[in-house]
Amino acid sequence: MKFARLAVLVSPRRHPEMLTRRRALAIVALARGLALLFAGLTLAWVAVDYAVFDPALAGRLAVVRLIAVVAFAMVWGMPPRAVSGLASAYARLLALFAIPAVFHVATQEILRTESVEGLARGIAAAYSLVPYAIAAGIAAFPIVIVECAILALLPLGLLAGTTLRDATLVGNAIVLDAFWLLFLITGASTFAAMSQVRLLAALIRQATRDPLTGCLRRESGAELLEAQFRLSQRSGTPLTVAFADLDRFKAVNDAWGHEVGDQVLSAAARALRESVRESDLVLRWGGEEFALVLPDTDAKAATRLVDRLRERGAGQRPDGRAVTLSIGIAERRADATPTASALVDLADQRMYVAKQAGRNRCVHSCGGEARIIFDLP
């Protein structure tokens, strides 16, 4: 479990879909906000250039700044579409970092041919701080180690391209100090970025997980089910929902109290979660009802999952009797369900067929008729 949590901070491939979507939306929102802020600051700095440099130099710098302002405005103006993945977020992030990089190269080339003194020299030196500002900017976004490392190549490349070229003038010690400072800033920024990812993951887990059973809450799970349903429609792959209900759970609460009932419910939920694949979803739909969302799974494969559950069991009641489940199965393609909610409703209806047939059963469609395919133990 600790390794899995660490892996979430290393690579985006280990992120749950909910975290990926929320992180992408956060990156887009931050990129747009910073782009608007940078556009304003970049434009305002034109006045500083005209105050300290001669008009010809200030004019050349102003042209570069105005181009940067337009580029920042374009990043801000890109519509924040509903983001299901990271492609749109990465595009905005790279644009936001690339603009000051290009600006830095252009201004360094302009200033390199000029001789400035006094206050103007200090302002000109500020232009060389862009690589450090880019490295520090990593801290603003909830990104992981791999993403931070890729972004860090940009300020490192800028520093190598400008500082090393002047190494004979400034001295090797100053060059090493510059790189050491950049590494320190990048390291601190990476730690701050990963802290954001860790906090976001914890908040999402707290908001999406039922604290008693560890399963997804109905609201958050339904959102993921919708996404899986649309993906299944686009790709033509099967998608199955197994709706499970604990048999005679009310009798457990009445006989032994709600605390014992919670223990029985938690044990059954753990059995469900341990019986599914990592790509499957287990939702606490309400009370003692659970919905299992099984991507790339047809009804026949879903019955094999129920078979695994039958072999391991769903826990025991305080009197030693086995906890049993009534399960209904529905599959998107075979049952031609038009929506995700219709798929869940059909699985729910079949679960009630299993209840009416005597409980402790699994029911799915066969030849257009729902029938019992086997009894659970």
Instruction: List the structure tokens of 84.
Output: 């299901």
> How confident is the model at residue 377, as a pLDDT?
47
Q: Residues 6 or more apart from 136 whose CB is under 8 A from it?
A: 185, 189
Pick from 201, 192, 141: nearest CA to 4: 201
Whether the CB-CB separation of 222 and 196 falls below 8 Å is answered with no
Query: What is the model's pLDDT at position 174?
Result: 62
Q: Which of 288, 289, 331, 369 is catalytic?
A: 288
Q: How many CB atoms lie within 10 A of CB 140?
A: 18
Q: Can you give the pLDDT of all 377 residues of the chain as single tens digits?
A: 455 667 788 988 878 777 888 899 899 999 999 999 999 999 999 999 898 888 999 999 999 999 999 999 999 987 655 445 688 899 999 999 999 999 998 988 888 777 767 777 778 778 888 899 999 999 999 999 999 999 999 999 988 877 766 655 555 566 678 888 999 999 999 999 999 999 998 888 888 888 899 899 998 888 889 989 999 999 999 999 999 999 999 999 889 999 999 999 999 999 999 888 888 999 999 889 999 999 999 888 888 888 888 888 888 888 888 898 999 999 999 899 999 999 999 999 999 998 988 888 888 875 444 555 555 54
Q: Is 289 a catalytic residue?
A: no
Q: What structural domains and CATH numbers belong to the chain? A: 2-208 (no CATH), 218-375 (3.30.70.270)
User: Residue 26 has what pLDDT?
Assistant: 92
pLDDT at 368: 46
Query: What phi, psi does 216 have (nearest 5°)?
Result: -65, 140
* Nearest-angstrom CA–CA distance, 277 and 280: 5
> What pLDDT was estimated at residue 1?
47
Output the pLDDT for position 83.
Answer: 47
pLDDT score of 350 = 92
pLDDT in tens, 278-295: 889 999 998 899 999 999
Separation between Cα atoms, residue 53 and residue 56, nearest integer Å: 8
Return the closest-CA partner of residue 157 out of 179, 140, 138: 179
> What is the model's pLDDT at position 375?
52
Task: Give the strand order in the sheet containing 239-246.
Answer: 281-286, 289-295, 239-246, 325-331, 361-366, 369-375
- Statement: the pTM of the whole predicted model exceeds 0.85: no
Picking from 167, 149, 171, the residue whose alpha carbon sits closest to that of residue 159 is 167
The reported pLDDT for the residue numbered 199 is 92
